[in-house]
A and B are shown apart, each in its own frame.
Chain A
Amino acid sequence: MVIMKEFIKYEAGWSDADELLLCLDTGSWRTKRPVVDRQKCNYCALCALYCPPQCMVNMNDYFTPNLDFCKGCGICAKECPRGAVTMVPEGEFAHEGAKR
């Protein structure tokens, strides 16, 4: 998960975003994934606003989760006033393989 460089170029504990940005594979944390019904979505953007990882992608007339980072918390589904987001168990997608 954490990539360690061989040597620290600083004298003390300094991090440098230009050198190394860390990132967790939070897309693998999910047990359920949000599935957006484009027909029901009225593009109100509440799901995008409340999404903790801010990973709802604006598709110009609807939103869809970036599954690389979506942890599957379900807030988008809960907050959607139109019930356009459904949390579907990941098992339903297992046959698609590791690729998301």
Chain B
Amino acid sequence: MKEIRFHGRGGQGAVLAARMLAAAFVVEGKHAASFPMYGFERRGAPVVAFTRLDDKPVREKTQIYNPDCLVVIDPGLINLPTLFAGLKPEGILILNSPRLLENQLNQNLRLAGVVNATQIADEEIGRDVPNTCLLGAFAATTGWVDLKSILSSLGDYFSGDLLERNIRSVERGFHEVKVSKW
């Protein structure tokens, strides 16, 4: 089982990204489950969301304490003291940031895929919704899911022009992510 924890802020689409990722896994015939945890539904307030992926049905309905991967949708959250809490050895970080990471940040961190998803979302979607771009970066960095699967899962959530824009955002995330290894 792979466990992925998303960190974002209300309005950035963390919940939706976690859900779309689960859908992408299901497209590949795998099992997945995703749910968010937040207090009030408020734009700007911190949001955590979880996605599990497995070859057999996902039965656990608990929060994720030992993630294999962190997806950070808001660049500012990189300073969150609890961000890396429980990260497994060989851990992976997918980060939305205009700047590359200068150091490892956490001893369990093995791979980091950094992409300027905010800028890409601004350019492609016209709004600061970096979530789908990071899914592209996720596919490229982890290799756990096909880019095609991510793209095909978008259809459940977007249509028309918005779907096209998000597809471009995902693709650019996939191609423009910079991966560091430790």
Say if the two chains contact directly (CB < 8 Å). no
Residues of B within 8 A of A (CB): none
